[in-house]
A = this chain, B = another copy of it.
Amino acid sequence: MAIGTTQPLVDVQSSHDHRDIDITKVGIRKLRYPIELATRDNGPQQTTAMVNMYVSLDRSFKGTHMSRFVEILNEHRAALDIHDLRYLLADMKKRLDAGDAHIELTFPFFIDRAAPVTGQKGLMAYDCQVAAELDHNNKATTCFGVSVPVTTLCPCSKEMSDYGAHNQRSIVSVSWRCTESIWLEDMIELVESQGSSPIYSLLKRPDEKWVTERAYDHPKFVEDMVRDITAELRRDERVVWFRVESENEESIHTHNAYALIEEERG
């Protein structure tokens, strides 16, 4: 074993590259990592994230230094703030000698929800994402995302049928960029309020009756879901870009119904 010899190990990555090709993104993917998140209503929340980190690589460098991504993440771990990842990104740009830097975090976010009638509490888990970048002009952009399960009930089925109406679990995803921070909790609640009914992890019989009847009273096509949320988002001046998707896991088909609206504030 050569460790301990006086010869330093060669740094292949830093050698000059002759192909004259810039790399758009290079880095690490699928690093699992425990993180702490600030919450709107309670103290910090511990959860587990999947992390991707990239930088651009100038044509003159043969390779980036992969271990530094993990080092930088370790150093910023204690103070990680999903609403302001600029310090971490600036560190990535500096220590990896890069024009721009990107980080993506996906994680389950837990909210304690009270059942609609009995008020019994149960934890709901929502898949969330944050993707932040700092470009070559040091302009920071952050895109947030939430995936929210709701019940949707088919208006056509209700209208045609003498009784009943098929309904299903729908996964409604909203991604957005904003001029000032929006709590994940606020966006999750906006989506839940637009479903035929919100979903809960703990429902007693009076709650189940309430959810059933609420869904029947508020039938929604997949098109209605994305339109009604779009109408809400257009009213929120902080939102400068958004994408709303609903994927309805149809109870009467094995394929899903799907709709998407993407808009940028003019």
- Complex Cα distance, B72 from A120, in Å, reads 13
Contacting residue for A161 out of B64, B212, B221, CB 8 A? B212
Asked if A259 and B149 make an inter-chain contact with CB atoms under 8 angstroms apart, the answer reads no
Knowing A74-B122, A156-B205, A261-B21, the reply to whether A213 touches B254 (Cβ < 8 A) is: no
Query: Interface SS of chain A: helix, strand, loop or mixed?
Result: mixed
Asked if B19 and A260 make an inter-chain contact with CB atoms under 8 angstroms apart, the answer reads no
Asked if B199 and A254 make an inter-chain contact with CB atoms under 8 angstroms apart, the answer reads yes
Whether a CB of chain B sits under 8 angstroms from the CB of A125 is yes
State the interface size on chain A (CB cutoff 8 A): 107
Whether a CB of chain B sits under 8 angstroms from the CB of A38 is no
Whether a CB of chain B sits under 8 angstroms from the CB of A57 is yes
CB of A4 to closest CB in B, whole Å: 9
Contact mask for chain A residues 216-230; partner B; CB cutoff 8 A; 1 contact, 0 none: 100001111011101
Asked if B204 and A67 make an inter-chain contact with CB atoms under 8 angstroms apart, the answer reads yes
Knowing A33-B123, A259-B25, the reply to whether A108 touches B209 (Cβ < 8 A) is: no
Asked if A29 and B247 make an inter-chain contact with CB atoms under 8 angstroms apart, the answer reads yes
Which residues of A41-91 have CB atoms within 8 Å of chain B's CB atoms? 45-48, 52, 54, 57, 62-64, 66-67, 70-71, 74
Query: B residues within 8 A CB of A208?
Result: 154, 156-157, 160, 166, 252
Query: B residues within 8 A CB of A253?
Result: 199-201, 203
Contact mask for chain A residues 156-179; partner B; CB cutoff 8 A; 1 contact, 0 none: 110111111111110000000000
Question: Interface on A for B, CB 8 Å cutoff?
Answer: 1-3, 9-13, 17, 19, 21-34, 45-48, 52, 54, 57, 62-64, 66-67, 70-71, 74, 108, 110, 117, 120-125, 149, 151, 153-157, 159-169, 197, 199-206, 208-213, 215-216, 221-224, 226-228, 230-231, 247, 249-262
